[in-house]
Amino acid sequence: MIKVALADDQPIFRLAMREILASAEFEVVAEFSDGQDLLGRLGEFDLDVLLLEPLMANLEFIDLQTLLRDNPRIKVVLLTVCEDQHIFAEALKFGCFGIVMKQIDPNEIRNLLRKVCSGNIWLDPMATSKIVSAFLKPPSDSGGRVPLSARERQVVGLIAQGLKNKEIMGLLFISEQTVKNHIHSIFGKLGFSSRTEVAIYGVNRGMHLPVPVSRGISLADDAVVH
């Protein structure tokens, strides 16, 4: 029997996965709806596979790296709506066994779990394309890094001030998921993999100095600042 854990903050999705895996071949032994709960309790369970949404609540990119590094016995498969090529490439580097978009045919879920438990890596076509693009992306004209947008520079500055995602969300009047999306984009553009690196980058460039932030900010989210 293949023992599976589900980590996703959408109850409906977890319910659907339980129904898909309801057979004598699979057993769902744990569910997690919050990133911190996942990190705190994962070691309590005897698992073969963890199906993980990396964009779930309270799970930062550095947490994903830690999870992959500290739990080599568990085969982690990203089952996600995320399309961030940087996350995909880094997840594979740290030991992820599969990356699958949630558009996958439900009938394929069982097959991929069998393959992964046999030691194979499973990548669906969209994930493969994005990973290849990450490695083939030509260097930019700004010291090998893609310029940050005005909104991304704001996020860098707030991270450099020590603010958490929920605090940034409140200051910028955006959702927590949008904050996460900006951070993932910043990681990809700057080649970073932790908030500490982002904070140091922001401090070194004077971006950490507090500035008024309002709903009526004049800089467009996609305005590029070199």
What's the distance, CA 3 to chain centroid? 23
User: In residues, how long is the chain?
Assistant: 226
Query: Which residue shows structure tokens 């709903």?
Result: 215
Please name the helix (run of DSSP H) or strand (run of DSSP E) that holds residue 141, with its range, or none: none
Rounded to an integer, what distance in angstroms lies between the CA atom of residue 190 and that of residue 17?
36
Which is nearest to 53 in space by CA: 10, 24, 114? 10
With beta carbons less than 8 A apart as the criterion, state whether 65 and 94 touch: yes
Using DSSP bridges, classify how beta strands 49-52 and 2-7 pair: parallel, antiparallel or unpaired: parallel
- Exposed (0-12), middle (13-18) or buried (19+): which is 117, by Cβ within 10 Å? middle
Give the domain ranges of the chain. 2-136, 148-225
3-state secondary structure of 147: coil
Was domain 2-136 assigned CATH 3.40.50.2300? yes
Phi and psi for 223 in degrees, rounded to 5? Answer: -70, 130
* Residue 114 Cα distances to 26, 109, 206, angstroms: 10, 9, 51
**What pTM was estimated for this model as a whole?**
0.63
Was domain 148-225 assigned CATH 3.40.50.11540? no
3-state secondary structure of 145: strand
Please name the helix (run of DSSP H) or strand (run of DSSP E) that holds residue 79, with its range, or none: strand 75-80
pLDDT tens, per residue, the chain with 226 residues? 999 999 999 999 999 999 999 988 999 999 999 999 999 999 899 999 999 999 888 888 778 888 888 888 999 999 998 877 778 877 888 889 999 999 889 889 999 999 999 999 998 887 777 666 655 554 443 444 568 888 999 999 999 888 889 999 999 999 988 999 899 889 888 888 778 888 888 888 888 766 544 433 333 344 333 3
Please name the helix (run of DSSP H) or strand (run of DSSP E) that holds residue 205, with its range, or none: none
Which is nearest to 154 in space by CA: 96, 101, 212, 106? 212
Rounded to an integer, what distance in angstroms lies between the CA atom of residue 173 and that of residue 165?
12
- Exposed (0-12), middle (13-18) or buried (19+): which is 206, by Cβ within 10 Å? exposed
3-state secondary structure of 3: strand
pLDDT tens for 136-180 read 554 443 444 568 888 999 999 999 888 889 999 999 999 988 999
Rounded to an integer, what distance in angstroms lies between the CA atom of residue 82 and that of residue 101?
8
